[in-house]
Amino acid sequence: MPHTTEWKVRLHLFEDDEGTTKAHVVLDTGTTTLTGHGSAHCSPTDMNVPEIGDELAASRAMNDLSQQLLDVAERDIEDVGAIPPDTRQVTGWPT
């Protein structure tokens, strides 16, 4: 049975008064909303390149969101009675 769905992701970037770039990424699945956070700040000795701060803050927020989503999936796996991924028995030849 095929399954298709669309999730919406919004990424907000802004710089605070201290020069820290902050990112909030919001995932809306229609049934769940998760928010990831990330930040980046420029060292006083670094060249100020706003795009790099945006990239770092956004990637850190997405990484945070990714971990939250993985945690939700693992709880859902346990809720349906499946063996959690880190305790599954490995079969076949070792790699």
In order along the chain (95 residues), what is the average pLDDT of each group of 10 residues?
95 93 97 97 89 97 97 90 63 55
Dihedral of alpha carbons 77, 24, 13, 49, sign: negative
- Hey, what CATH topology would domain 8-83 get? Double Stranded RNA Binding Domain (3.30.160)
Distances from the Cα of 52 to the Cα of 7, 40, 47, 77, angstroms = 27, 9, 10, 37
pTM: 0.80
Looking at residue 88, what is its pLDDT?
Answer: 55
Domain boundaries of the chain, sorted by first residue:
8-83
Looking at residue 85, what is its pLDDT?
Answer: 59
